Chain A
Amino acid sequence: MGLIEWATSPWGREVPIHIAFGLLWVSAIGGLLFLVVHAIYVGYWAKSAEAHAGEAVGASSGIAARVPERVARHSFGARLFHAVMALAMFALLFTAFLPKVGVRFAWVTYHWIAGVVLTISVIYHLFHATFWLDFWSIWPDRVDIEDAARRFRRAVGQAAPAPRKFAKYPLENKLYHLAILCAGLAVIGTGVLMMSRVRTPFLARDPYLFGFSDTTWGWMYVLHGLTGIALVALIIAHVYFALRPEKLFITNSMIFGSISREKYLEHHDPERWPVGERAPEAGAAGSKSREVPA
Chain B
Amino acid sequence: MAVIRDVMPAFELFQPATIDDTMRLLGQYREDAWVMAGGLDTFDWLKDRIKRPKVVVDLSQVKELSGIREAGGGLEIGATTTLTEVVRHPIVREKYSILSTGAEAAASPQIRNQGTIGGNVSQDTRCWYYRAGWPCYRAGGNTCFADTPTAINREHAILGADRCVAVNPSDSAPALIALDAKFVVRTPKGERVVDAEDYFIGPGTDITRMNILRPGDLLTAIRLPADWAGTKFYFEKVRDRNVWDFPLMNVASAMVITDGKIERIRLALNAAAARPLRLAAVEDAVRGKEPNAATGEMAGRLAVQGARALRFNAYKIPLMRNLVKRAIGGVEKAAWA
Contacts and interface: CB of A to CB of B under 8 A. Distances in A.
A106 B135 contact: no
B140 interface: yes
Contact of B140 (A17, A104, A208): A17
Nearest to A12: B1
A217 B149 contact: no
A244 interface: no
Interface in B126-161: 132-135, 139-145, 147-150, 161
Contacts of A7: 135, 139-141
Interface string A185-220: 000000000000111000011111000000001100
B163 interface: yes
Given A15-B135, A17-B135, A17-B142, A198 B204 contact: no
A108 B207 CA distance: 11
Given A17-B135, A106-B205, A208-B149, A221 B142 contact: yes
A24 B204 CA distance: 21
B74 interface: no
Contacts of B163: 108, 197-199
Interface of B is mostly: loop
Nearest to B135: A7
Nearest to A197: B143
Contacts, number: 62
Given A17-B135, A204-B149, A107 B1 contact: no
Nearest to B150: A208
A218 B1 CA distance: 19
Contacts of B134: 9-10
Interface in B274-296: none
A222 B202 CA distance: 25
A108 B149 contact: no
Nearest to A218: B142
Contact of B201 (A104, A109, A199, A221): A104
Interface centre among B132, B134, B147, B161 (most CB of A within 10 A): B147
Nearest to A207: B143
Contacts of B132: 10
Contacts of B140: 5, 7, 17
B148 A206 contact: yes
Nearest to A194: B142
Nearest to A7: B135
Interface in A70-121: 99, 104-109
A105 B135 contact: no
B146 to A, nearest CB: 11
A207 B145 CA distance: 9
A107 B308 CA distance: 20
30 contacts: A5-B140, A7-B139, A7-B140, A8-B1, A9-B134, A10-B145, A12-B1, A17-B135, A17-B140, A104-B205, A105-B204, A105-B205, A106-B202, A107-B204, A108-B163, A108-B204, A197-B144, A199-B161, A199-B308, A204-B149, A205-B144, A205-B148, A206-B148, A206-B149, A207-B144, A207-B148, A208-B150, A217-B143, A218-B142, A221-B142
Interface of A: 5, 7-10, 12, 15, 17-18, 99, 104-109, 197-199, 204-208, 217-218, 221
Q: 4 shortest A-B CB distances, which residue pairs?
A: A106-B204, A7-B135, A104-B205, A221-B142
